[in-house]
Amino acid sequence: MTDRALSVCSSENDVRIAPFVDHLKRRLTLTHPFHPRFSEEFELVSYRRSWGRECVDCRDDDGELVTIPLQWTDATGFFDPFLEASRGHSYFRVSELMELVELIKRMEASEPEAEAKGGVK
């Protein structure tokens, strides 16, 4: 079964050229800390850009083809400076925690409106 969550690729601002693929690791690890397949290894099949997004097509240990956003892997050898500096002590950046606080506030503010319209709390 192909993991649908792996098929989402996000945009990169920089543009890479074809020889870049020659510098990618052939066996790569999924490094996104919140992905269910975190730390799993995959065999690189190809690199591609689609609609401005950088992805790698890989095979998992079961031979399934999966597409992973390039920045969710260690394929380039470049790591997220935050994750390197935190060394597993914190999974969240302060800015991400602040966004979460704002989201919770918005959700709490909308609860009375939902109850007034007959919604369930």
Rounded mean pLDDT of 64-82? 81
> Which residues, at least 6 apart from 121, have a Cβ–Cβ distance to it below 8 Å?
111, 114, 115
Distance (Å, whole) CA 105 – CA 59:
42
Of the pLDDT bands very low, low, confident and very high (cuts 50, 70, 90), residue 2 is: very low
Domain ranges of the chain: 4-87, 91-121
Distance (Å, whole) CA 119 – CA 121:
7
Rounded mean pLDDT of 20-46? 84
Report pTM: 0.49
SS3 40: coil
Residue 23 confidence (pLDDT): 64
Of the two residues 11 and 72, the one the predictor is more confident about is 72
Rounded mean pLDDT of 22-29? 78
